[in-house]
Structure formats: C-alpha cells, structure tokens
Amino acid sequence: MPVQYRFDSNIVIIEMVGEYSMDDLRAAVLNSLADSACPANAFLLINLSESQSIYKRSSEEVKTMARFIASQGKRFNNRVALVAPDDLPFGLMRMSSVGSEERGIQAEVFRDFAKAWEWLLS
C-alpha cells in the first residue's frame, strides 16, 4: 500500500511511499481515525519523506487536501506535524499549513521526523 498509517504513543502517523492517489491518502486518514486502535487525544503526523506523488501535485490539490485534513481536526486535537525533507514538498506543506491554520489547525512543517515527533509531544 502506498499510503499507510500506524499509531505510536498518542500520534497517528500517516506515511506515503512512492506513487499514490489523493483518494489513497484521504482513505488512509479516514481509516486511521476510525480505527478502534486509534489513541484517544491523538495528534497527526504526516510523513512525506518517501513520497514521489507530492512532486506531481498541483498547488490546488495540496490546498484541497489541506482543507480535508482541517475538516478532520477535532479527531487529532487540531494539531498536525508535516515532515517534508526536500525543498519542493517542504514549500508546498508550508503553503498548506497556512491554509490549515486559518481553519483552526495548529500545523508545523519539519524536515526531520524526530523534530516533528518532539513538537507534537511538547
């Protein structure tokens, strides 16, 4: 599966690997939040470190996904960390985080997974 989720501590981790559709990503987010193993008081970490599809996404697609993530904000305490080590994905995620913040989501973009993890747990 190109988009997978897992739980660690009270963090829902969504990881994209290689090529995937926007529907794959949307389904993984919804499935993770509906999973009975989803921790209470969860935070969301979206890891784009291995994503290839992000290089093909338009800014409008990125904004659409940000709106979708924001619509689920109550399920992850309105707090999301995005991991994007490369310049293009990092810039796109910074752009989407601004749109998410306008919808009440506290979002931060990181180049390093460990720093994103620390921020969510701080």
Domains of the chain, residue spans: 3-121
pLDDT tens digits for range 24-59: 999 999 999 999 999 999 999 999 999 999 999 998
pLDDT at residue 52, rounded to an integer: 95
SS3 call for 80: strand
Alpha-carbon distance 11 to 66, whole Å?
18
Identify which of 103, 22, 18, 28 has the alpha carbon closest to the alpha carbon of residue 65.
22
Longest dimension (CA), the chain: 36
Burial of residue 75, with CB atoms counted within 10 A of its CB: 0-12 exposed, 13-18 middle, 19 or more buried: middle
What would be the CATH architecture of the domain defined by 3-121? 2-Layer Sandwich (3.30)
Low-confidence ranges of the chain (pLDDT < 70): 99
Alpha-carbon distance 3 to 15, whole Å?
6
